[in-house]
Amino acid sequence: MDVLAVVILSAVEGLTEFLPISSTGHLMVTAAVLKLPPTEFLKSFEIFIQLGAIFAVTLLYAKRLVVEITLVKKLVVAFVPTAIIGFMSYSLVKDFLLGSLPIVAASLFAGGVILIFFELWLTQKSSQPEQNLSEISYRQAVIIGLWQTLAIIPGVSRAGATIVGGLYLGLSRRAIVEFSFLLAIPTMLAAVGFDLYQTGGAFNWNEYMILGFGFILSFAFALLTVKWLLSFVERHNFIWFGVYRLVVALLISLFLL
What is the pLDDT at residue 77? 95
The residue-averaged pLDDT of 16-38 equals 91
Which of 22-26, 56-60, 93-97, 111-115 has the lowest average pLDDT? 93-97
Query: How much of the chain exceeds pLDDT 70, in percent?
Result: 97
Q: Is the pLDDT of residue 90 over 80?
A: no
Burial class of residue 194 in the structure, from the number of CB atoms within 10 Å of its CB (0-12 exposed, 13-18 middle, 19+ buried) = middle
CB 46 within 8 A of CB 9: yes
CB 13 within 8 A of CB 49: yes
Instruction: Grade residue 129 by pLDDT with cuts at 50, 70 and 90.
Output: low
What is the pLDDT at residue 59? 92
d(C-alpha 131, C-alpha 189), whole Å = 28
Q: Interhelix angle for 158-168 vs 173-199, to 10°?
A: 140
Query: How much of the chain exceeds pLDDT 90, in percent?
Result: 54
**pLDDT tens digit sequence for 144-195:** 999 999 988 989 999 999 999 998 898 888 899 999 989 999 988 888 888 8
Q: Is the pLDDT of residue 104 over 90?
A: yes
What burial letters (b/e) apply to 108-122, b meaning 16+ CB within 10 Å?
A: bbbbbebbbebbeee
The residue-averaged pLDDT of 93-117 equals 88
Q: Is the pLDDT of residue 3 over 80?
A: yes
The residue-averaged pLDDT of 87-91 equals 80
Burial class of residue 87 in the structure, from the number of CB atoms within 10 Å of its CB (0-12 exposed, 13-18 middle, 19+ buried) = exposed
CB 180 within 8 A of CB 201: no
d(C-alpha 169, C-alpha 163), whole Å = 10
What is the pLDDT at residue 128? 58
More confident site: 129 or 211: 211
**pLDDT tens digit sequence for 76-88:** 999 999 889 888 8
What is the pLDDT at residue 132? 81
What is the pLDDT at residue 109? 96
Taking the CA atoms of residue 216, residue 220, residue 222 and residue 226 in that order, the dihedral angle to the nearest 10 degrees is 140
Instruction: Grade residue 1 by pLDDT with cuts at 50, 70 and 90.
Output: confident
Phi, psi of 171 (to 5 degrees): -75, 155
What is the pLDDT at residue 200? 62
Q: Is the pLDDT of residue 201 over 70?
A: no
What is the pLDDT at residue 192? 84
Instruction: Grade residue 127 by pLDDT with cuts at 50, 70 and 90.
Output: low
- Residue spans per domain, the chain: 3-255
- The average confidence (pLDDT) of the chain is 89
What is the pLDDT at residue 126? 55
